[in-house]
Amino acid sequence: MWEKVGKILGTNKSYQGISFLQTNGQLVSHTKGIANTLGSAFANVSSEESYSQTFINYKKQREKRRIDFNTVTSPAYNVDFNLHELRRAIRSSHPTTPGSDGIHHDMLKNLSKKSLVLLLILFNRIWNEHVFPMAWNRAIVIPILKPGKNPEDPSSYRPIALTSCLCKTLERMINARLIHVLEEKTLLTEFQSGFRYGRSTMDNILILETAVRDAFITKNIQYRFSSIWKRHMIVIGILNDLHNMGFSGNLPFFIQNVLLKRTFNVCINDILSDNFIQNEGVPQGSILSVTLFIIKINGIIHNLPPYVHGLLFIDDFQIHCSSMNMSFIERQLQTAIKSIIAWADKNGFVFSSQKTTCTHFCKVRGLHPDPVILLKDAAIPVGPVVKVLAAKSVVQQLDKVHHQGLRLASGAFRTSPVQSLYVITGEPCLKLRRERFSLKYYFKIKQNPSHPSYERVMKPIFGQFYERRVSLIPSFGHRMRPLLENFNLKNIDISPKHERSRNVLTIDDFNKLPKSTTAPSVYIQEFCYHRQKFERYDTVFTDGSKFGDHVSSAVVFNHIIISRTLNKHCSVFTSEMFAIYAALRTIRLLFQKKWIIYTDSQSSIEAILNASRQSHPLVLSTIRLYFKLQDRNFDILFCWIPEHVGNTGNDEADAAAKAARSNVETFVPFQDIDQVLKQTVLTKWQHTWDLELNNKLHSKQPSITGFRPNNLNRRMSVKLARLRLGHTYFTHKHLLNADPAPSCSSCSTIISVRHILCECPKYCVLR
């Protein structure tokens, strides 16, 4: 912690500047010379010198083929950017160090609307005219020493590139469109989990775990081979992949400008090196870099033989194969590696042999040799045999660490019961946490049918085998079935996720009137004036309600009232959004084209305006239907109005929502499922705590909600916690020393906190 404080204050002693470097047997100590030495080392990484002659010849052949990104048609991803996209890109930016132009992200966040419009005009000119500011191709590189490396060696430093924040903002807007097209057209392999919405390393872990457990149950041998790439890629290869994917027009032209003619200067103590050229590879520090890398490495999965399966997380690549025949596994993996190396030689990738490993999963008894798998004439090291995954005895070791952490945090005495520790800290046991997060991950997969583990989780195989061999832990899909029944979530439908891309029109006539200081009559008068202004628009009032287990929505037209009852697990926000969605579904069947949808849910309006890929599924469904109606020349506006101020339409919608009893909707959004899981875990935890009748804390705190935080210092907080727990050094030290329990000299009863504070007559005066 003090090291971080020192960095903030600028007094940190751990960081020392680069005093000198050694290169080619010569000592370089001048600051300018150090900067140039590092710049030369960084430039060589992206030069042709780092590639084999075979690859250089292949690269020259590729460069002779002209890539034509011109197009007669105008794809949707090539249209001009709008103000909403610009604001979203600025809002999602981080306060990183600016480039050579000195423009910071915080400056962009504080621009006026007029300035944003001018900036948008500039961006659209760059976008449409296929030009690129020369300053944006230049980066300032800060060298950072890699952990544990020799500070005198130029190759021991990692380049951190500082580029223009303006360029990053435009790249962020373009990257959002690029990712949208890649996902919408399923151009990326489903086995790439890195930097993709709704995906994580847990997906790859689950696929591998399922494969290993299924191999165990069928008495197969499982082998896992893992490697990391060194990132050398040819620019022409990236552009060629974009062309093969069907991209044309403004988007690939911009990416081409980003990749070509890159230069950088190394900065040491505010002194810049000479200019250096980055010939190949994606620019470090660019927003588009990761996406372009994913596109480039995407084809590697298609080069695996049928019995070998591969997984990617950006540049981390893992393949696995299972069989009862060791020779078969060896042949398959060796064939796969030869195919991968051939693909890598053509695409500018290099294996990191130091980080390449092989793991053997096997339950077969008796001696059997590990396979010999070669990576360019060098045997890949094979780790120890893994016979069990996540055994209960191993998982239980985490409980000890968890309990020790709770004791340290609360200051509880070492003899305090673990159930008391959970309650006084407000932290459930790890078993309940694992159940909750496992179910949450299960529903996350269930809402996405394109997930690579969807079939194996929703329809797990080898069920009868696992039932016969109860000693083996079943795969994830089988483990979730009893949990779903235990949590009463077996028959819940999950809303699918959708995407969005355009603007939504809203009216904010009533936001300027704070409800706390505005009389209902003022709102009614303002609404009458508002209706005169929009008299050509028909009205729709929506509302949602939740009371106990009753959740419902209602929509009120002039002569039509539509109400729906939702699943009891849905939230109030879901009921409000469903009412808006139901209004749009009804509007599409009517002849009138101009509508205003009124809602008293400010959060629903904000969710629609600020929708993103991570938004509530009903928000995305509402927006998608809204855009379809726009394409059919519907003119629909959204407007927030305050509730319970005498507005007839709003009051009718409120009453209809509360009275809804039929037309049950069974779906539950994924966002609401997490709240259900939290509540169910709390209920199970409370049930366990209710059985602890002899626990000293239970009489003082029968609820698991715990105590309110106090403002006492650490010493007093520890004393208070130990008194509440009923375990102190004075009353329970005998348990540590194996002595008999101490008794009260006056009462001849065992000493306890309760006896001293409440019962013993010796302390009546002190009380």
Rounded to whole angstroms, the Cα distance separating 420 from 487 reads 24
Q: Which residue has the tokens 């609307």?
A: 113
Which of 154, 141, 142, 145 has its CA nearest to residue 38? 154
Q: What is the pLDDT of residue 510?
A: 73
- Most confident region among 138-152, 228-242, 361-375 by mean pLDDT: 138-152
Please, which residues have CB within 8 angstroms of residue 460's CB and are 6 or more apart in sequence? 474, 475, 476, 477, 478
Helix ranges restricted to H, 288-381: 289-297, 326-347
Looking at the DSSP bridge assignments, the partners of residue 23 are: 26
Of 29-33, 93-97, 468-472, 631-635, the least confident: 468-472
Q: Tell how far CA 21 is from the center of its chain.
A: 40
718 within a domain of the structure (yes/no):
yes
| Residue 8, pLDDT above cutoff 70 | no
User: Does residue 143 share a domain with residue 75?
Assistant: yes
34 shares its domain with 134:
yes
- 740 to 695, 696, 732, 743, 756: CA distances (angstroms): 20, 19, 10, 9, 18
Residue pair 383/223 in contact (Cβ under 8 Å)? The answer is no
pLDDT over threshold 80, residue 82:
yes
Which span out of 305-314, 389-398, 554-563 was modeled with the highest average pLDDT? 305-314
Q: Which of 334, 325, 328 is nearest to 304 (CA)?
A: 334
pLDDT digits (tens, 9 = 90+) for 21-53: 888 778 888 888 889 889 888 888 777 666 667
On whether both 644 and 734 belong to a single domain, the answer is: no
Q: Are residues 727 and 608 in the same domain?
A: no
* Residue 270 backbone class (left: φ over 0; alpha: ψ -120 to 50; beta: rest): left
List, for residues 262-313, the tens digit of each pLDDT value.
Answer: 889 999 888 899 999 887 777 888 899 999 999 999 999 999 998 999 999 9
Question: Residue 597 forms beta bridges with which residues?
Answer: 540, 638
Range scoring the smallest mean pLDDT among 318-332, 375-389, 574-588, 692-706: 375-389
> Residue 297 to residues 237, 262, 706: CA-CA distances in angstroms?
11, 22, 51
**257 and 172 share one domain:** yes
Q: What confidence category does residue 661 fall into, taking pLDDT thresholds of 50, 70 and 90? A: low
Could you tell me the CATH number of the domain that includes residue 655? 3.30.420.10
Question: Which tokens sit at 302?
Answer: 């298609």
User: Is residue 438 situated within a structural domain?
Assistant: no
Q: Which has more confidence, 58 or 76?
A: 76
Residue 715 and residue 661 share a domain: no
Please tell me what DSSP assigns to residue 428: -
530 and 642 share one domain: yes
Single residue among 644, 668, 692 that ends a domain in this structure: 668
Pair type for strands 506-507 and 635-640: parallel
Which residues face 385 on adjacent strands? 360
Q: Does residue 723 register a pLDDT over 80?
A: yes
Placement of tokens 């000493």 in the chain: 751
pLDDT in tens, 414-424: 999 999 999 99
Phi, psi of 645 (to 5 degrees): -125, 15
Domain boundary among 260, 284, 308: 284
Q: Are residues 97 and 176 in the same domain?
A: yes
Asked if 38 and 143 count as a contact pair (C-beta separation under 8 A), the reply is yes
DSSP state of 44: H
520 vs 467 pLDDT, higher one: 467
What confidence tier does 503 reach under pLDDT thresholds 50, 70, 90? low
Instruction: Look at 432-441, 538-547, 739-748 and tell me which has the smallest mean pLDDT.
Output: 739-748
Residue at a domain's end among 619, 637, 668? 668
pLDDT confidence bin for 596, thresholds 50/70/90: very high
In a domain, 447, yes or no: no
Q: Tell me what pLDDT residue 129 has.
A: 94
196 within domain boundaries: no
The full DSSP string for 45-63 is: HTSGGGS-HHHHHHHHHHH
Q: What is the pLDDT of residue 14?
A: 47
How many whole angstroms from its chain centre is CA 406? 27
Domain count across the chain: 3
- 742/660 same-domain check: no
How high is the mean pLDDT of the chain?
A: 85
- Long-range contacts of the stretch 526-532 (C-beta < 8 A, 24+): 527/641, 527/647, 530/639
Count how many residues are written for the chain: 767
Tell whether 692 is covered by a domain. no
- Residue 529: which pLDDT band, with cuts at 50, 70 and 90? confident
For residue 194, tell me if it sits in a domain. no
The rounded distance, in Å, linking the Cα atoms of 18 and 296 is 35
> Does the structure show a pLDDT above 50 at 434?
yes
Q: Is the pLDDT of residue 216 over 90?
A: no
Q: Which residue has the higher pLDDT, 550 or 389?
A: 550
pLDDT at position 700 is: 87
Three-state DSSP state, 550: strand
Residue 758 lies in domain: 709-766
**Percent of the chain scored above 90 by pLDDT?**
35
621 and 731 in a common domain: no
Angle at 555 between CA 550 and CA 561, to 5 degrees: 100
Residues 104 and 19 in one domain: yes
pLDDT value at 233 more than 60:
no
Would residue 485 count as lying in a domain? no
The whole-number pLDDT of residue 9 equals 55
Q: Do residue 522 and residue 600 come from a single domain?
A: yes
Residue 455: band (very low, low, confident or very high) from pLDDT cuts 50, 70, 90 = very high
pLDDT band, very low/low/confident/very high, at 182 (cuts 50, 70, 90): very high
307 domain-assigned: no
